Amino acid sequence: DSGVTQTPKHLITATGQRVTLRCSPRSGDLSVYWYQQSLDQGLQFLIQYYNGEERAKGNILERFSAQQFPDLHSELNLSSLELGDSALYFCASSVGTGGVSYEQYFGPGTRLTVT
Amino acid sequence: GIQVEQSPPDLILQEGANSTLRCNFSDSVNNLQWFHQNPWGQLINLFYIPSGTKQNGRLSATTVATERYSLLYISSSQTTDSGVYFCAVRRGTYKYIFGTGTRLKVLA
């Protein structure tokens, strides 16, 4: 158990809908990262937050947004869902920001299926 | 951006065999991690190894940063070692770049 929690574990929804994925980092970690793993794209970095502020953006679609709350948990919002958004979404956390290298720990993931 | 290549892409072993997985990266990095993704999809940290050598039980890893590669050694493989092994690197940015992985199947 990495100490990073994600809910829900599984999510099935229809095209055009909106969902929210939740992540709680390890105790003491200030950075949260979101990744998408799909069959054709592999593991792709989406976005990073550090202590409530956005720090880096990767291949995140405009239909997707995220935030980190004062208690450090994070939510990833996916809207106007398309079939191609079906994937495993991971959250990871680390102690500090990316300016100094820190080991990332991954949560168990949320498997999103869009029908 | 940095390119990360892993080899071999697929590997089938008999239980008890040893193996070496390789990760090549195209630029200098200051962070490198090895992960095992088990058949249930969970990503498990194996090593945080930007340079040097580390060992943990039957697994060990070596990163030669100056030559831009890292090796993961699995000795006396077990069926529970099956899954996908990823190497991920980071250089001065906030995101990891993941390789495409090595898919390992260990047969009983």
Q: What is the pLDDT of residues B89-102, one digit of tens each?
A: 987 766 789 999 99
Arithmetic mean of pLDDT over chain B: 94
**What is the band of A40 on the pLDDT scale with cuts at 50, 70, 90?**
confident
Mean pLDDT of all residues in A46-54: 93
**Contact B100/A at CB under 8 A:** yes
Mean pLDDT of all residues in chain A? 92
B45 and A108 in contact by Cβ < 8 A?
Answer: no
Shortest distance between the Cα of A16 and any Cα of chain B, in A, equals 26
- Whether B41 sits inside 8 A of A108 (CB atoms) is yes
A24 close to A73: Cβ distance less than 8 angstroms: yes
Phi, psi (degrees; rounded to nearest 5) at B47:
-145, 140
Would you put residue B57 in left (φ > 0), alpha (ψ -120 to 50) or beta?
left
